[in-house]
Chain A
Amino acid sequence: MGVRRETMVNTLLLAGLLAVPLWALWADEPFTITLATRVAILALAGVGLNLALGTGGLVSFGHAVFFGIGGYAMGILAFHAQNYTPLIESLSIPGTKSMPVIWAVAVIASALVALAIGALSLRTSGVYFIMITLAFGQMFYYFTISWPAYGGEDGMSIYLRNSFPGVNTLVPFNFFAISFAALLAVLVLVGRLMRAPFGLALSAARQNEARLRAVGIDPYRLRLTAFTLSGAITGLAGALYADLNRFVSPSMFSWQTSGEIMIFVILGGVGRLFGPVAGAALFILLEHFLGGISEYWHIFLGVLLLGVVLFARGGLIGLLAGREVAHD
């Protein structure tokens, strides 16, 4: 049964992602925990993009914008908190080191920017959509480079990881657990959304726009909503990623970042809920092991990507679980 098989693959994937850091905790290998945390966070960024790209068919080459906004939301709030300077002087609003507040700001800010970018770029499609989203990404990239207040080109460091009520976030495994929980929560939400009326209609907008219009549904609003949610999720991932590194820089906004998020989705399986989880895990594994062999490991990544695009459109999940079975 295809449905069962994909569920099994997904469960194994999550179990593996949880087991590795548990083992590392036992074996006292903090670096491995950090790798697993990166996988969880990058997977989250990919789940965000996958909603737009996989389900909605919106090939955004600018999701670094949201990743970066999430990162800078964290950076700016924590920067003011650690320097005891107000965030907004006139209103004497302080910065914060609280993760939940930072996440809320990251999600709202990236959702608003996604709404604005989507409202403009969804009037186009195909290659123009790709180019416009890319252009927005580059705009943000060069803006942060030339904005001296928050480190400009050099980015800025946060001395201490931000706090989460009741959890010591300085312990690597605890921060992994937080990131993993965030990934799980978003997977559940997106999974529901894909089966809900919205998901059915969004998927129809990708498969056959004329059909959707003929039943009286306008695709624009669906796509804009999907793009906004997608940006918000990737924004959350950006805030976590910055917290993991305790560092933000304009490179979070770079087109390479957009490309990498897209690679997670493609490697893992476009449109498959757990695709980005598989893709991010594979990416980090390759980076870790091949990167140890040669600094030109991207060549191998390129070959692999080519192989997936040519021979295994369903990505890793498609290889393991077979063709997608319609949701029931």
Chain B
Amino acid sequence: MTEPVNGSATAPVLEVRGLTKAFGALVASRDISLDLRPGEIHALIGPNGAGKSTLIAQIAGELAPDRGEIWLGGRQVTGWSTAARARAGLARTFQISSLAMEMTVLQNAVLGALGARGKVMRFFAPVLGDRALVERAMAALEAVGLQDLAALRTAELSHGQRRQLEVAVALTLAPRAFLMDEPMAGLGASGSRRLMSFLDGLRERAPILLIEHDMDAVFALADRISVLVNGEVIATGSAARIRGDARVQEAYLGEEAEAMPGEEACAGAGGEGRGEAAP
């Protein structure tokens, strides 16, 4: 197993313990335990319907688990609201870009900086006159390469640029941990490559729990990979170990065992990627 460079003796930033969630007879999360350690990218993969979205929703605080605990930065946050978890340092990006479309690119980033600082109940001074907020927002936009589009309405951004903005907003939060739900979805080859190299460096700032269909990206980036099948984590380990795991081969890479994982991923990502949420 690849240990993160600086993570030899550090406690996990984000930890999921024995998480269980059922919708009627369908068990979407079955006693899931996983952790995210400082400096790593931990990828979560699994076929459609494996329960990835349900798991993310529980980690982000949109869905309450039936059993189990979620710990963030040494505190149990299981009962906390989404907003409280964000304030505690969990920055998520959405599978489908979730931005304030009528605002400018800069305003979206400033909103993130504002959320990170708190003190929202300010009624008089213009928010865009607040240099500290704007600088923080611009720094995040520069990090993803959107600084030249700061004045553009978000609705006018291309799909790929929206994905970049999602990441930029997450950056403004200066989080303890990133929760990224398919950040590559819908990106072209060059866009994916750029984002990959960006995420590669990002793990130094805060670890990333990465849900991704793009297997090339996952196997290239991830320090550890967890495989979710039918609501259960069937394996966790380094890329090499996951590739060689017989259960993973059988359950996930299955019928195309001889093919490269990346090709299978393309088929998966292009198809129905949103179906594994709550029924």
Nearest residue, chain B, Cβ from A218:
B83
- Inter-subunit contact B123/A213 (CB<8 Å): no
- Inter-subunit contact B98/A198 (CB<8 Å): no
Known: A207-B100, A214-B94. A200 touches B111 (CB 8 A): yes
Known: A207-B101, A208-B99, A214-B94. A327 touches B128 (CB 8 A): yes
Set A193, A204, A218: member contacting B124, Cβ < 8 A: A193
Identify which of residues 169-210 in chain A touch chain B, using a CB-to-CB cut-off of 8 Å: 192-193, 195-201, 203-204, 207-208, 210
Interface: B169 (CB within 8 A): yes
The answer for the CA separation of A213 and B114 in the assembled complex, in Å, is 12
Interface: A91 (CB within 8 A): no
Set B104, B111, B124, B172: member contacting A211, Cβ < 8 A: B111
- Inter-subunit contact B81/A218 (CB<8 Å): yes
Interface: A113 (CB within 8 A): no
Residues of A within 8 A of B126 (CB): 192, 195-196, 327
Interface: A216 (CB within 8 A): yes
Identify which of residues 121-180 in chain B touch chain A, using a CB-to-CB cut-off of 8 Å: 121-128, 130, 151, 153, 169, 172-173
Identify which of residues 79-134 in chain B touch chain A, using a CB-to-CB cut-off of 8 Å: 81-84, 86-87, 91-92, 94, 98-104, 107-108, 110-112, 114-116, 118-128, 130
Set B103, B172, B173: member contacting A203, Cβ < 8 A: B103
Residues of B within 8 A of A203 (CB): 100, 102-103
- Inter-subunit contact B103/A214 (CB<8 Å): no
- Inter-subunit contact B98/A215 (CB<8 Å): no
- Inter-subunit contact B173/A204 (CB<8 Å): no
Set B82, B120, B130: member contacting A222, Cβ < 8 A: B120
Set B60, B81, B100, B130: member contacting A204, Cβ < 8 A: B100
Question: Which residue, of B119, B121, B173, has the highest number of chain A Cβ atoms within 10 A?
Answer: B121
Residues of B within 8 A of A326 (CB): 102-104, 107, 151, 153
Residues of A within 8 A of B99 (CB): 208, 211
The answer for the CA separation of A328 and B151 in the assembled complex, in Å, is 9
Interface: A324 (CB within 8 A): yes
Question: Which residue, of B81, B82, B119, B169, has the highest number of chain A Cβ atoms within 10 A?
Answer: B82
Nearest residue, chain A, Cβ from B173:
A215
**Total cross-chain contacts (CB, 8 A):** 112
Nearest residue, chain A, Cβ from B120:
A201
Interface: A32 (CB within 8 A): no
Residues of B within 8 A of A201 (CB): 111, 114, 120
Known: A200-B107, A200-B110. A210 touches B100 (CB 8 A): no
Report the minimum CB–CB distance from B107 to chain A (whole Å). 6
- Inter-subunit contact A213/B86 (CB<8 Å): yes
Known: A192-B124, A214-B92. A197 touches B119 (CB 8 A): yes
What are the interface flags for B42-68 relative to A under an 8 Å C-beta threshold, 1 for contact and 0 otherwise?
A: 000000000000000000100000000
- Inter-subunit contact B173/A216 (CB<8 Å): yes
- Inter-subunit contact A211/B98 (CB<8 Å): yes
Interface: A217 (CB within 8 A): yes
Interface: A34 (CB within 8 A): no
- Inter-subunit contact B103/A207 (CB<8 Å): yes
Nearest residue, chain B, Cβ from A207:
B100
Known: A196-B125, A201-B111, A204-B103. A213 touches B120 (CB 8 A): no
Question: Which residue, of B99, B116, B120, B127, has the highest number of chain A Cβ atoms within 10 A?
Answer: B120
Interface: A301 (CB within 8 A): no
Report the minimum CB–CB distance from A193 to chain B (whole Å). 5
Interface: A98 (CB within 8 A): no
Residues of B within 8 A of A213 (CB): 81-83, 86
Set A192, A214, A218: member contacting B98, Cβ < 8 A: A214
- Inter-subunit contact B123/A198 (CB<8 Å): yes
Set B83, B100, B108, B151: member contacting A216, Cβ < 8 A: B83
The answer for the CA separation of A140 and B110 in the assembled complex, in Å, is 41
Identify which of residues 201-254 in chain A touch chain B, using a CB-to-CB cut-off of 8 Å: 201, 203-204, 207-208, 210-218, 221-222, 225
The answer for the CA separation of A327 and B121 in the assembled complex, in Å, is 18
Residues of B within 8 A of A199 (CB): 127
Report the minimum CB–CB distance from B132 to chain A (whole Å). 12
What are the interface flags for A109-135 relative to B under an 8 Å C-beta threshold, 1 for contact and 0 otherwise?
A: 000000000000000000000000000
Known: A201-B114, A210-B94, A211-B98. A216 touches B86 (CB 8 A): yes
- Inter-subunit contact A215/B169 (CB<8 Å): yes
Question: Which residue, of A192, A210, A225, A326, has the highest number of chain B Cβ atoms within 10 A?
Answer: A326
- Inter-subunit contact B115/A217 (CB<8 Å): yes
Question: Which residue, of A211, A215, A222, has the highest number of chain B Cβ atoms within 10 A?
Answer: A215
Residues of A within 8 A of B115 (CB): 212, 215-217
Nearest residue, chain A, Cβ from B89:
A216
The 8 closest A-B pairs by CB, nearest first: A215-B115, A216-B86, A216-B87, A207-B100, A216-B115, A213-B82, A197-B122, A218-B83
Chain A to chain B contacts (Cβ below 8 Å), 27 pairs: A192-B123, A195-B127, A196-B125, A197-B114, A197-B120, A197-B122, A201-B111, A201-B120, A203-B102, A204-B103, A207-B101, A208-B101, A210-B98, A212-B115, A213-B82, A213-B83, A213-B86, A215-B172, A216-B84, A216-B115, A217-B111, A217-B115, A217-B120, A218-B83, A324-B102, A327-B128, A328-B128
Supplied contacts A212-B115, A214-B82, 14 more A-B pairs, CB within 8 Å: A192-B126, A196-B125, A198-B121, A198-B123, A207-B101, A211-B98, A211-B169, A213-B86, A215-B169, A216-B83, A217-B83, A217-B111, A326-B151, A328-B128
- B interface, CB within 8 angstroms of A: 60, 81-84, 86-87, 91-92, 94, 98-104, 107-108, 110-112, 114-116, 118-128, 130, 151, 153, 169, 172-173
